[in-house]
Amino acid sequence: MVVVLSVLWGGGPIWAPFVGLFSGFLVFLYQRMTDRRSRENALSYLVTTQRIIFVANWHSGTEFRWIWFQYIRFRPSVKADETGVGTIKYGKAWHRFRFRNEELRGAWAPPALELRAIKDARRVADLIEQGRNRLIGTYTQAP
């Protein structure tokens, strides 16, 4: 505040407001990184025959959120290392960005639909797709 007032009154250097903006940006990035890291350490996933369940284990309790397979609109993209551990993402970057900005943010909001640090990620993505296709088939078949 003092730096901004001194620049407005002409007593400070011209670069001072930019240093303030840059430091604010760094604080914002640090907060985002620690938020993501704390979510990754507390978050685990369960995959059933009909949904993906996100489980957050906090010191104050456990929280569950889920998404039904029928509401997953995109095909998965899997990025895994040589050991098979990887990330499963649904939707393109723009869709995940829009979803993240439109969702209700709770104490731990999972980023769009991303499953991180999954062992044998390709196999898990295939199992989710098989379950999803099986459910879609049961909804569209006539009795």
pTM of the model: 0.61
Phi, psi of 22 (to 5 degrees): -65, -40
The structure tokens 């025959």 sit at 49
Would you call 42 helix, strand, or coil by DSSP?
helix
Looking at residues 84-113, what average pLDDT do you find?
66
Residue 12 has pLDDT above 70, yes or no: no
Query: CA-CA distance, 121 to 85, in Å (whole number)?
Result: 6
**Whole-Å CA distances, 26 to 19, 21, 32:** 10, 9, 10
Q: What is the pLDDT of residue 31?
A: 80
